[in-house]
Chain A
Amino acid sequence: MDPDDVEAFLERECELLDSGDFAGWVDLCTDDAVYWMPVSSDQTDPLGEISILYENRTLMELRKFNFGHPLAPSFEVPVRCSHLLGRVDVLERRPDEVKAKVKFHCLMWYRREQRMFAGHSTYQLVPNGKSFRLRFKRVDLLNADDWHKSIPIYL
């Protein structure tokens, strides 16, 4: 395991989001995985305070069925995104878990509007053979507390 492995995994993880393969993205996750997008950068309590997203595997599975559903008005038009990742910072490396942080820019195209998201993501990864599985991803947006319009996808 070297930083390149972590970087390759994060690139792949974001590529799944960018290509709209949400089911493939969920397949990267452990059963106890959590995706967290706080509404403020100093948020420490995901249960007692509101977040933009705080989703467990159950919600990911529900979202998998809802994603792009022909009956969902919000998915009648396509939503596309494109991530650009900065240098990967491996914060901690244990045999059973790797913690990493990466800066990102992500453009989202939705309803004839291109919106810019930027910030950093913090990951907990579980080694799995030559790669990893995703146990935790926290997305700290630069403008977490902004007046957001709909964000129909994970960033």
Chain B
Amino acid sequence: MSPGQGTFDASTLRELVRDDRVHRRVYTDPDVFALEMDRLWGYAWIYVGHESQVPKPGAFLTTTLGAQPVIMVRDHDERIHVLHNRCAHKGAKVATAPCGQTSVLRCPYHGWSYNLDGSLNTVPHSVGFEGTGFNPDSTAFHLSPVARVARYEGFVFAQLHDSGVTLEAFLGDTRRTIDNVLDRSPTGKVSIAGPCLPYLHDCNWKMFVENLNDAVHPMVAHASVGAACREYMEVHKPDAPPTEAEIIFPFGSSYEFFDKMGVTALPHGHSYMGGKSSIHSSYPDIPGYYDSLVDRHGEEKTKEVLSQNRHNTTVYPSFTLKDAIQALRIVRPISVDRTLIETYHLQLDGAPEALLHRTITYSRLINSPASMVGPDDWDCYTRIQEGLGSHGTDWVYLGRHLGRDQVDGEATTALGTSDLSARNQFRAWLQYMTAHAADGYGP
């Protein structure tokens, strides 16, 4: 626990999160951030990677779970481990490359090496440890595994502490988004295609996550791209809008359009927009693709699969997936005002290349740090981070359509422009933050 965290008892934390507003400290206070890393990122299931990124024994990738550096590695029995990236000896990270292939995980400092399951392989010149507290069989001298690792359809998640909730229960209805991506593959298989696209943000991680299902901002923050598309059409008068404009233009859609899409909030802070109609529902078909899905599913189910369009399914706090686009983004908090977003792309096995090309084009046009969309979001997040330093007022207001939600079992739905998803995130946030970490309790 870092200095200052002790000042956050449950009642103080409850003061920061009200039904319709949150205190600016949740975004700006480094002590709140440190506590989030312990209690929220320490207990939620956090996305680590896709199994296709470690395709064979010895393949590994490095990432972070909250503030914790970890290695995801496949061993010779095809088991996938998530290990703390910290040599049991003096603490050096044993791997620093984003990904690689190895026979053992070897620390470059004194040469301690570890097997792919994290157990100790060899320690050079170990004679000096004889008769000391050193014990090669003790897990204290292994790369320690994180508390739990589980896979859902190839998507690997891990928990730093065991919260008692299974991954399937945690994912809940968001599994239908992952299922839909697999259903869109003519063989039922998907894999990560190519490198990721990193984008460093000068803001608290929650601003990015809240924005995923914020349907009020596009018409304002992305107004210029809508205007640019209209201007293009007027000047060039093409017979039909070019693909590029079709991708960008919906980001300037009307409030009514987004209201109709709707937003659905789920337990554990998860949510998604749309379902049947989203900003991705009017993309043209790619020749041959529909037929290959009919071969697998039959006509009726194929139509059902292609009609599901959930915009930005958010698995709180670390992962967001677009089923119709097959792009996923990972949230990696660095500090209270710095967040790395990594975008990955899924290739649908057996589908025409053109489908992957569309996924990539979409992502480049929307998620790239050099796109015409991402930098406007980036700018707004940065302004918020800077503005919340102001003592003008302490509160961030999240009250749009408060009290007008519709409850349907575990799901709560509202008009798309409702602040429901942000309120739902903070409900989960407060549950994680006020739970006693020492008791292993999570929401």
Contacts and interface: CB of A to CB of B under 8 A. Distances in A.
B433 to A, nearest CB: 28
Interface string B7-29: 00000000000000000000000
B208 interface: no
Nearest to B225: A66
Most chain B CB within a 10 A radius of its CB, from A54, A70, A73, A148: A73
B383 interface: yes
Contact of A149 (B343, B356, B361, B378): B378
Interface stretch (B113-121, B190-198, B264-272): B190-198
Nearest to B201: A149
Contact of A71 (B196, B197, B224, B236): B224
Contacts of B242: 58
Interface residues of B, number: 50
Interface in B245-285: 245, 248
Given A73-B221, A148-B200, A49 B193 contact: yes
Given A73-B379, A152-B375, A51 B364 contact: yes
Nearest to B221: A73
A65 B347 CA distance: 33
A152 B224 CA distance: 13
Given A58-B242, A59-B244, A73-B221, A146 B360 contact: no
A147 B225 contact: no
Interface in A27-76: 37, 39-40, 43, 45, 47-54, 56, 58-59, 61-63, 65-66, 69-76
Nearest to A38: B195
Interface residue tally of chain A, by bracket?
35 or more
A53 B224 contact: no
Nearest to B367: A50
A21 B365 CA distance: 22
A39 B369 CA distance: 11
B387 to A, nearest CB: 13
B232 A62 contact: yes
A145 B194 CA distance: 12
Contacts of B375: 74, 150-152
28 contacts: A39-B197, A47-B353, A47-B357, A47-B361, A48-B353, A50-B194, A50-B360, A50-B368, A52-B364, A52-B369, A53-B364, A58-B244, A59-B365, A61-B235, A62-B232, A62-B372, A63-B228, A63-B372, A65-B227, A65-B232, A66-B227, A69-B224, A70-B224, A73-B376, A111-B379, A147-B200, A148-B369, A148-B370
